[in-house]
Amino acid sequence: MTVFAPDDVVVAERTDTRTLTRRLIPPLATLAGTIAVLGYVAAVDPNQPGHYPLCPTRALFGVDCPGCGLMRATHDLLTGDVAGALDHNILIVVLAPLAIVLWVRWLLRAWRGREDAVTYATFRRRNTVMLIGLGVVLAFGVVRNFVPYLGSGIG
């Protein structure tokens, strides 16, 4: 149970009583699944038609969604073509390192078995960051349809 408290109240950190093995299962299973998916995307080129389904937004409305070009950009990153990745979806090039940092933090928290206390200020900061991130992704989805450089390279 997470405890929310005013800023001036110190709340003890939470200790996870599960065994180390049990705590590490979720981050390591996520890593294994991610490696499997990335291996498939690296091996099977999304630029070749017929391997992956069409983007529903692109197929139905003819516009790019925030994720359009995501697999092509991921394939390009995995094969070392950063310029191609930037052309297909610039957002993945920015967010991939962030995802890695967040996963490492998750792994370290699971390893230590402790989580920092969540104060009301921390809770508000997390929500603000999440809403700003959502706004950036949605704005990117709109802007990329009007700025030629941000297009997904499919049309």
- Provide the pairing of β-strand 114-115 with 14-15: antiparallel
CA distances to 44, 61, 75, 124, 134 from 118, rounded to whole Å, are 43, 42, 38, 10, 22
List the chain pLDDT tens, one digit each, 155 residues: 555 555 555 556 778 888 899 999 999 999 999 999 999 999 998 888 888 888 888 888 887 777 778 888 999 999 999 998 988 888 888 899 999 999 999 999 999 988 777 889 989 999 999 999 999 988 888 887 777 666 555 54
Where along the chain do its domains lie? 19-150
Whether the pTM exceeds 0.85: the reply is no
CA 36 to chain centre: 16
Burial of 78 (0-12, 13-18, 19+ CB in 10 A): middle
Two tokens, residue 97: 């390192």
Fill in the amino acid letter for 137.
V
